[in-house]
Amino acid sequence: MKILIIGGTGMIGGHTAAYLKAQGNEVVLAARKPAPETTPMAAYPTIYGDYTKGDFSAADLSPFDGILFAAGNDIRHLPKGVDENEFWTKMQIEGVPTFVELARKAGVRRVVHIGSYYHQVMPNLVETNAYVRGRSLADEGVRALATADFNVSTLNPPSIVGYVQGLPTKRYETLMAYARGETQMPIFAPPGGTNYMSVQSLAEAIWGAFQRAESGKAYLVGDENLTFQQYFQSLFDAVGNPHRVEERNEEHPLLPDMFIVPGRGNILAYEPEAEETKLLGYRRNDVQRALREVFAQVSGR
């Protein structure tokens, strides 16, 4: 297949580009600006544009058999001082379905949309959280465009663990320093937890969706349920620090409450459907390996 990746210079897009290419596909990236020369993505053919500004035309998209949409903003990308509802309407509710509709008009046959797990696991959050509402309506809007000749599916993944060489690693560098005991931050984990998934597992699920997804369907994908205490302990274990992390009902400097969408103390846990996991063909039990790999790569820079 000839596949275009919207958001191709990001961590998910970049990792998936390499995986899709390894499966024999022709891969082209789409992004707002060139990939850093230090990344593997700099070697891919790239078209430039912003989907929220209507920069892409049907002529841009028509050469492709499939499109991966991996450019959806998450809660970390919300600028300070902006109206949340306006931002998520532009970036999610209207922006994503409008782009996918353009792909349909261009004659693209398959689209895989990367969403988020919150609204599929905790639908009650749609009514109370503007970000989750945006993701939910974008998902519904995209899949409503499915036809017999236009296969559209959504993959709703959890928190993703992964790394692409050359991309900024400040977050992981900070986590690694924290796990080594090299910071002045107190060592504890807030109550609660969530599901985690490696970027490798997600890339495999994406390729499976291109080949076998039911059109118009949303797939809840994921891997390992961890409390935040277990997650932070995994970081300490990955760097060989024997310290045992305690749970404490306080806001954590590396996991502030605004990033815990269900609220501190809540556990967002689920088990992906076994039949769907088999259909999409992605590996499980890969989170700890991914964490060790990330830390090994970051420490070797």
Give all domains of the chain, ordered by start, each with its CATH number.
Answer: 2-161+198-222+271-282 (3.40.50.720)
* Beta-sheet pairing, 26-31 with 224-227: unpaired
Looking at the DSSP bridge assignments, the partners of residue 221 are none
Q: What is the pLDDT of residue 268?
A: 96
Report which residue type is found at 181.
G
- What pLDDT band is residue 85 in, cutting at 50, 70 and 90? confident
Summarised one tens digit per residue, pLDDT across range 258-299 is 999 999 999 999 999 999 999 999 999 999 999 999 988 887
Short-list 76, 152, 155, CA closest to 117: 155
Q: What is the pLDDT of residue 255?
A: 96
Summarised one tens digit per residue, pLDDT across range 90-130 is 889 999 999 999 999 999 999 999 999 999 999 999 999 99
Looking at the DSSP bridge assignments, the partners of residue 113 are 69, 154
- What pLDDT band is residue 81 in, cutting at 50, 70 and 90? confident
Q: What is the pLDDT of residue 300?
A: 67
* Residue 30: strand, helix, or coil: strand
Q: What is the pLDDT of residue 88?
A: 87
In angstroms, the CA 18 to CA 224 distance is 24
Short-list 237, 226, 235, CA closest to 254: 235
Q: What is the DSSP letter of 40?
A: G
Q: What is the DSSP letter of 7?
A: T
Mean pLDDT of the chain: 94
Give the chain's length: 301
Task: Quickly tell me which residue has 């060592």 as its tokens.
Answer: 187
**pTM score of the predicted model:** 0.95
Tokens of residue 5, six digits: 């990746």
* Beta-sheet pairing, 224-227 with 193-198: antiparallel
Contact 164, 11 (CB under 8 A): yes
Q: What is the pLDDT of residue 74?
A: 75
